[in-house]
Amino acid sequence: MKTYLNGLLAPVDNEIDSKDLQVTGKVPEELTGRYFRNGPNPLPGTDPGHWFGGSGMIHGIRLAGGRAEWYRNRWIKTTLLAGQEFITDRGLDLTAVTANTNVIRHADKILAMVENGFPYEMSPELDTVGPYDFGGRLTTAMTAHPKEDPVTGELHLFGYGFVEPYLTYHRITAQGELAESHDVDVPGPTMMHDFAVTENHVIWLDLPMVFDVERVGKGSPIRWDDEYGARLGVMSKATKAVQWFDIDPCYVFHVGNAYEDNGRIVLDAVRHSRDHINSFWTDVSGSANPAPEIHGTTLYRWTLDPAGHTVKEEQRDDRDVEYPSFNESRLGRPSQFLYTVTDDAIVKYDTVTGVGHARDLGRAPGEAEFVARQDARAEDDGWLMSIVTEHDGSASDLVILDAQTLWTVAEVRLPRRVPAGFHGNWLADS
C-alpha cells in the first residue's frame, strides 16, 4: 500500500464549489479574505511515484461578514498537468512543475509554488493564470518558501538546481520587480527546501539530502549523503559574503524565525535526525516495504556567532513537531511565539523560555497559520487557522483558534475531506 495514495494523504478526484458553509461558533467579523491551502493531489488514476510528485491543488475558503461564503478546490493547471512543454533559454522547462507546495501573495500577485520551477499565478477565484517569471528576469527555479521583509516589503528567495550554479539568491522589490540575483557557492546539488532571513543577513541550510543523477529513473533521485556534511551559512545582504558553520548532520524542511542578537544569529527550526529523514523518505517514495516509525523531528535552536566563529546547537523540546509558523510581522526580528503541529495537536512555544503548550484537537491538523488582529496589542494577539481532518477521512474543518489561549473561536465544516497537504496562507482583502 502506497502511503501517499491512501489514508489522510489520499487525493480527491474532482473540483467542486459549495456556498454558505456551516459554521460552529462565530467567525471574527474582521476576517475578510481567503484562506488558501496547497498540496499534492494526483489526477484520478495516476501515480506520481512520490508524495511530493502529485499535481498541485489549492483548497480555498472565503470568509466575510462573520460568514463562510464559499469553498472551492482547483488543480493548478501547469504545463506538466496539461502535457505541454516549454523550454526556457537555459534549456530547462521551468514551467513543467507541480506547483504543489505553497501559495502566497506579493505585489498583488497570487503565486502557487514548488521548489523545482517557476511559480504559477492564480486568480482570487483559483483560476490558473499561468507560469510567472517576473518579467523574464527569473531564470532559475524558485523556492516555495520566500520571505517577505515586514519593514522593506522586499521578497527574498532562492533557487537550487541539479547542475551548477547549485544555489542562486534573488531579491524582489515591494513592487514585484526582480532587482538582483547572486550565485552562492555550495559544493553540490543539495535539496535546500527552506532558508531564513534576518534584518541584515540570509541564512542558508546546506544539508546532506542531495540529488544523485545516478538514481534518476530508479526511484527518488534524492538521498542522504553521509559524505556531504552539514553546515549553516550566514550571508550579508549587503556584500553577499558568506560565513559557514559546521553543524551536526541533520535535515531541516522548515524554519521558524531567525533574528540578530548583539552580533549573533539565532535560528529556530524543526530538525530531522538522519534516521527519521531516511524513514520518512522511504514512506513517501512509494516503497513496497514501509519503513518503521522513527521519531526525531524536534524543535531546535542554533545560535551562530560570526565574530567567534562558533555555533551552539540546542534541542528545545522532545515532542515530534513540524510546520513552524509565527507572526510574520516579526520576521527577521526578535519574536517570542512559535506555533507547530503534531499528531493531534497544535503546540504553541514560548521561544524565550522554551516551554510549549499543546491544544489537543482529536483530529489531524495541518499547518497553523497565524493571522494578526487589526488592532493587536501583543505579538500573539490574533488567530490560528488550520484545516483539520478526522483520522478516518470522513470530514474536514477549517478551525480558527485564539492564538493566545488556543481555544476554538469557530469551526467551518468543509463540504469534503481535504487531503493532508503542505502550506496555506490567509490573503486578507485589504
Q: Is the dihedral of CA 15, 20, 24, 30 positive or negative?
A: positive
Q: DSSP letters along 80-148, please?
A: HHHT-----TTS--TT-S---SEEEEETTEEEEE-TTS--EEE-TT--EEEE--TTTT--S---S--EE
Q: How far apart are CA 259 and CA 262, in angstroms?
A: 10
- Phi-psi region at 108: left, alpha or beta (left = phi > 0; alpha = psi -120 to 50): left
Burial class (CB in 10 A: 0-12, 13-18, 19+), 299: buried
Distances from the Cα of 240 to the Cα of 76, 143, 204, 368, angstroms: 35, 19, 12, 33
Give the number of C-alpha atoms closer than 13 A to the C-alpha of residue 4, restricted to the C-beta side. Answer: 25
179 contacts 173 by C-beta, under 8 angstroms: yes
Q: How far apart are CA 308 and CA 285, in angstroms?
A: 41
Instruction: Flag whether 309 is marked binding.
Output: no
Cell 467542486 sits on residue: 16
Cell 521548489 sits on residue: 115
Instruction: Flag whether 145 is marked binding.
Output: yes
The dihedrals phi and psi of 293, each to the nearest 5 degrees, come to -70, 125
Q: What is the CB neighbour count within 10 angstroms for residue 313?
A: 14
Return the closest-CA partner of residue 76 out of 91, 89, 49, 95.
95
Burial class (CB in 10 A: 0-12, 13-18, 19+), 103: buried
Instruction: Flag whether 272 is marked binding.
Output: no
Chain mean position to CA 203: 16
Using only the alpha carbons of the chain, give its radius of gyration: 20
335 contacts 385 by C-beta, under 8 angstroms: no
Instruction: Flag whether 193 is marked binding.
Output: yes
In the annotated binding site for Fe cation, the residues are 145, 193, 254, 423
Q: Which residues are annotated as a binding site?
A: 145, 193, 254, 423
